[in-house]
């Protein structure tokens, strides 16, 4: 299985996350490539995707959004996982008084149901 980890990063943190994801997938024997989203030519040659973007003011960087929009049909028919990274601020609790280290822990979308 050939997997593309495409990313858009402003200061390098999202790139680092993408490279770590690619490294971990590769350690399980998968064929993985991490690349900036803006440099991906033919995405159809990949069997699955991980796409990440740095998020600022509740929006992904343009290159990540453009990659997803351009490849919308392809991503819809193949295994795809999306991630975001961005500034979290300095608060230790959210507006509901919950610990942000707990509420911001990685989880599957299925875990987000009420």
User: Cβ atoms within 10 A of the Cβ of 42, count?
Assistant: 6
CATH number of 2-89, picked from 3.40.50.360, 3.40.50.620, 3.40.50.1100, 3.10.20.30: 3.40.50.360
Per-residue model confidence as pLDDT tens for the chain (114 residues): 899 999 999 889 999 999 999 999 999 999 999 999 999 999 999 999 999 999 887 788 999 999 999 999 999 999 999 998 887 666 777 778 887 767 666 555 454 444
Q: What is the pLDDT of residue 113?
A: 42
* The pLDDT value given to residue 114: 44
Please state the pTM of the whole predicted model.
Answer: 0.78
Contacts of residue 89, defined as CB under 8 A and 6 or more positions apart, other chains included, come to none
User: What integer pLDDT is reported at residue 94 of this predicted model?
Assistant: 74
Beta carbons of 52 and 20 less than 8 angstroms apart: no
How far, in Å, CA of 82 to CA of 5, rounded? 10
Q: Does residue 6 contact residue 64 with C-beta atoms inside 8 Å?
A: yes
**DSSP H or E run through 101:** helix 100-103
């Amino acid at each position: 299985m050939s997997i593309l980890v495409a990313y858009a990063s402003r200061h390098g943190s999202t790139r680092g996350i993408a490279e770590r994801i690619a490294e971990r997938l590769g350690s399980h024997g998968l064929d993985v490539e991490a690349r900036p989203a803006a440099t991906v030519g033919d995405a159809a040659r990949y069997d699955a995707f991980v796409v990440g973007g740095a998020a600022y003011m509740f929006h992904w960087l343009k290159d990540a959004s453009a990659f997803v929009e351009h490849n919308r049909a392809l991503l819809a028919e193949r295994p795809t996982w999306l991630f975001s990274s961005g500034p979290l601020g300095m608060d230790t609790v959210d507006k509901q008084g919950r610990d942000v280290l707990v509420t911001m822990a990685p989880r599957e979308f299925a875990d987000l149901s009420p």
